[in-house]
Amino acid sequence: MGRRCMGHDDQRVHVEEKLSACGHLFYDKVLSLHEDSTTPVANPLLAFTLIKRLQSDWRNVVHSLEASENIQALKEGYEKVEQDLPAFEDLEGAARALMRLQDVYMLNVKGLARGVFQRVTGSAVTDLYSPRRLFSLTADDCFQVGKVAYDMGDYYHAIPWLEEAVSLFRGSYGEWKTEDEASLEDALDHLAFAYFQAGNVSFALSLSREFLLYSPDHKRMARNVLKYERLLAENPNQAVAEAVIQRPNVPHLQTRDTYEELCQTLGSQPTHYQIPSLSCSYETNSSPYLLLQPIRKEVIHLEPYVALYHDFVSDLEAQKIRELAEPWLQRSVVASGEKQLEVEYRISKSAWLKETIDPMLVTLDHRIAALTGLDVQPPHAEYLQVVNYGIGGHYEPHFDHATSLSSPLYRMKSGNRVATFMIYLSSVEAGGATSFIYANFSVPVVKNAALFWWNLHRSGAGDDDTLHAGCPVLVGDKWVANKWIHEYGQEFRRPCGSSPED
């Protein structure tokens, strides 16, 4: 007679012990990934694996052959919380984030698999970031990243991740982890076809033959071997030809090289940007509001004019803003004609906060108005937008001001966005800089500071030099708050210049 299933109360109390017992210490592995539950997961490798453990690995353990009736309570418990666990789209998004970081920061996949953030430039390999704790990926982790790219037909990214999966599976062949979804044969199968699609028939043949060593009765792979042998016999040059796999093109981004070079500086600038005309000062803007507590101002750039105001908010204010926004966060969108769309070149979540929901936001508006001298009350400015960038979050080069009369911005009947006031609500350990593409400089994330710039010339024409981007967050949890100020109502606060381009 089978072991009696425990009641729901007992099940809840003893679920940790059951997970450890039946899942080969699987639950202990999850706990070790996230020992400090009070802090966000900053390392993208750690974040990816934590999502994977909860999305697919746990499911694999629960529905494995080991999950017989003596752990039926575990299955029932899993099914109760399944809807609250990460979905596959979360795992896919985390894998894409790793590929994005791999591209923008030129990271070595073998290094990432070992937990090291190494940048490869030619023959030089440098550490871009040194984590306090090294965390390596398993063969199955690498396989899942490669498979996400494979399923998209993206063999540029699929091949190095699947190669690493094959290498790690070879090293542990014969060992089976209950939570793994893939095996050496799966990795060889996908990698062989990826190389075939990339034009390297010779390597596809070699991998397929290796596959048959482990599964000699596999009919599809045997047919593939015959096919590859025939192709090579018909065209012997393919045996020595090296496949050149191009990185997937992104047509909408015409400034990719500059954008990525600026991101790779992590906000540090070459010496020639340290010019005497840039200055630091305590700013009151002749406002009684700031006389007793002036703000430290650092002029970052002159054309376009960009200033950084240090310690604009306190730690408590930054935390309060994040807490107010968190329940309302949704996937960020961009304006496309008259529509608002979710796009791959903007990955983040955002929420809009009316100043009426908390007195602190009213105080914040007063401080922004005193510092800028502008009217920040609706309809002359938008509500505060709070953004969380998440794993590898970014926003590729864009303008804050509208460049088309069909933009939804003009529905507000308050003109274009004349200025941007962006507050950094958190710090990051690496990445996440704000890069100005045509002006060729970037600004690192400075916790509690605010970045200010004019989007329009005094004539009302858009300033092309304000094309900017939020670089992917390499390590950390980036939060910002944007206050966009519109041109109507500011006419006597920023008088027109004598020159139309002034």
User: What are the domain boundaries of the chain?
Assistant: 19-238, 280-486
pLDDT tens, 395-407?
A: 889 999 998 877 7
Query: Which pLDDT score, from 0 to 100, does residue 8 have?
Result: 38
Query: Which pLDDT score, from 0 to 100, does residue 9 have?
Result: 45
Residues 102, 108, 109: CA angle, nearest 5 degrees: 80
Give bridge partners of residue 283 from the DSSP assignment.
295
Query: Which pLDDT score, from 0 to 100, does residue 6 have?
Result: 36
- Residue whose C-alpha is closest to residue 94's, from 480, 473, 479: 473
| Cα–Cα distance measured from residue 312 to residue 295, given in angstroms and rounded to the nearest whole number | 7
Query: Which pLDDT score, from 0 to 100, does residue 267 have?
Result: 75
Query: Which pLDDT score, from 0 to 100, does residue 19 have?
Result: 44
| Cα–Cα distance measured from residue 4 to residue 62, given in angstroms and rounded to the nearest whole number | 18
The CATH code that applies to domain 19-238 is 1.25.40.10
Low-confidence ranges of the chain (pLDDT < 70): 1-40, 63-78, 121-125, 238-244, 249-254, 269-274, 335-343, 345-346, 494-502
The structure's pTM equals 0.84
Tell me phi and psi for residue 282, to 5 degrees: -95, 125
Query: Which pLDDT score, from 0 to 100, does residue 87 have?
Result: 84
| Cα–Cα distance measured from residue 173 to residue 178, given in angstroms and rounded to the nearest whole number | 14
Instruction: Let me know: does 164 contact 194? Beta carbons within 8 Å.
Output: no
Query: Which pLDDT score, from 0 to 100, does residue 65 have?
Result: 60
Q: Which two tokens stand for residue 500?
A: 């139309």
- Residue whose C-alpha is closest to residue 21's, from 36, 6, 41: 6
pLDDT tens, 104-113?
A: 999 999 999 9
**Residue whose pair of structure tokens reads 């418990």 in the numeric block:** 77
Query: Which pLDDT score, from 0 to 100, does residue 132 have?
Result: 82
Query: Which pLDDT score, from 0 to 100, does residue 69 have?
Result: 52
Taking phi first (over 0 means left), then psi (-120 to 50 degrees means alpha), and beta for anything else, what does residue 285 get?
left
Q: Is the peptide bond before 379 cis (omega within 30 degrees of 0)?
A: yes
Query: Which pLDDT score, from 0 to 100, does residue 151 have?
Result: 96
- Residue whose C-alpha is closest to residue 112's, from 177, 157, 153, 152: 157
Query: Which pLDDT score, from 0 to 100, does residue 60 have?
Result: 78
The CATH code that applies to domain 280-486 is 2.60.120.620
Same CATH fold, 280-486 and 19-238?
Answer: no
Q: Which two tokens stand for residue 280?
A: 């630091």
